[in-house]
Amino acid sequence: MRRPRWPATAPPVSGGVEVHGHRLLAAETHLTLDVIRTVAFESGLAVHLALTATGAPAEMAHRQTRPLTDPDDWSAEWSYLTVWATVENTDAEADPYLPRPDVHACDAGRSVYRTEPRYWLGTPPIVRSVTLTAGWPQIGLPATTAILALEPTDQPSIGTGVGDR
């Protein structure tokens, strides 16, 4: 039996209302995971996350997300932030529709990795909360669970934010 998934589908281009703003989900040594915002549409929710790693976790994230094109590299393995979302009666793994380019840089000799994946959860028009479970154990981020209470913020109606930050 196939496990349910929230597919990598982009939200509508307009008509969204921000229902949850910034929130820190997890903080570990050299790692943070944040909800940037959640936008509600008639047909679902767009959830924007940000993961920032420095030092050893950043190096591990860079290795875990590199292209696996070398057939002689037997150590090659690939992983990414795993996100599960529960809305009403649906609990499923979410695939990012816009992973945003990962940033890997050195800042004063310290390695930095940042990714801003975005997820689409096709839901009924009125949803009061979403439960997110996210983790990336391969880089040292254990699974963490948070319940986001959703209600309109003071932000005006917005689009998908595909081009915004």
Long-range contacts of 75-82 (CB under 8 A, 24+ apart): 77/138, 79/136, 79/138, 79/139, 80/115, 80/117, 80/136, 81/33, 81/49, 81/51, 81/115, 81/117, 81/134, 81/135, 81/136, 81/141, 82/134, 82/135, 82/136, 82/143
pLDDT at 165 > cutoff 50: no
Sketch the domain layout of the chain as residue ranges.
18-67+78-149
Rg (CA), the chain: 16
Pick the more confident residue, 152 or 129.
Answer: 129
- Mean pLDDT throughout 70-93? 85
Q: What's the CA gap between 124 and 121, in Å, rounded?
A: 10
The SS3 call for residue 56 is: helix
pLDDT number for residue 159:
53
Q: What's the mean pLDDT when you consider all of the chain?
A: 86
Name the pLDDT band for 23 (thresholds 50, 70, 90).
Answer: very high
Percent pLDDT > 70 in the chain is 82
Q: C-alpha angle 55/119/114, rounded to 5°?
A: 15
pLDDT at 126 > cutoff 60: yes
Percent pLDDT > 90 in the chain is 65
Name the pLDDT band for 45 (thresholds 50, 70, 90).
Answer: very high
Q: What's the CA gap between 41 and 47, in Å, rounded?
A: 11
Q: What's the CA gap between 113 and 115, in Å, rounded?
A: 7
Question: What would be the CATH architecture of the domain defined by 18-67+78-149?
Answer: Sandwich (2.60)
Q: What's the CA gap between 116 and 100, in Å, rounded?
A: 5
Location of structure tokens 């909800």:
35
pLDDT number for residue 98:
75
pLDDT number for residue 18:
95
pLDDT number for residue 125:
80
pLDDT at 31 > cutoff 70: yes
Beta bridge partners, 120, equal 46
- Mean pLDDT throughout 31-48? 96
Name the pLDDT band for 99 (thresholds 50, 70, 90).
Answer: low
Q: Which H helix or E strand runs over 11?
A: none
What's the pTM?
Answer: 0.85
